[in-house]
Amino acid sequence: MTDRRVGVIGTGGHGQSEALFLRIFTRDITLIAPDGTHGLTRDERQGLADAGVTVVDGPCGPLRAVDETLVAPTPQGDLTFDAVYPALGSVIRSEVAVALGARANEEGCPEVDRHQRTTVPGLYAAGDVTKDLDQISHAMGEAAVVATTIRNDLADQAPMLREVLAD
């Protein structure tokens, strides 16, 4: 959203880093805490102020579309944006993979090869669980790799042939 009004819903270091990342594209960034008072350190607040990012405590109410804008209700009043970016982070849910024996890194992300195979034969992983990246497009790409890999791994075990239908 180059040179547009962008609201970022998030807080803490993750919210700060996403707001500063988006600041590359526009001067008009507002970081809104989703639940209440921001969980920002003094240094994080100062970094945002130095970059010209507006900081608004929440809670942020449900967004609504009005004409071609998005309205975010906050305790300071309704704020209007051209785009709203969620910077809420994610929680890695790899407990089942780890319980099955998959090796994971310090963040809990299962280790995968370039075809998304974990260290457990027949167990695959993709998306945010493998990289703390929080990018839908990246997760979709990895899902395509997993689907192809599973098909190829199964075909290596036995031919996958469509049956001939009788007339």
Host domain of residue 136: 95-157
Supply the pLDDT for residue 120: 97
pTM, to two decimals = 0.71
**In this structure, are 83 and 99 located in the same domain?**
no
**Boundary-marking domain end, from 27, 54, 87:** 87
**In this structure, are 23 and 78 located in the same domain?**
yes
**In this structure, are 75 and 107 located in the same domain?**
no
Decide if 31 is inside a domain.
yes
pLDDT in tens, 52-100: 999 999 999 999 999 999 999 999 999 999 999 999 877 888 999 999 9
pLDDT in tens, 104-132: 999 899 999 999 999 999 999 998 888 87
Q: What is the radius of gyration, based on Cα positions, of the chain?
A: 22
Q: How many domains does the chain fold into?
A: 2
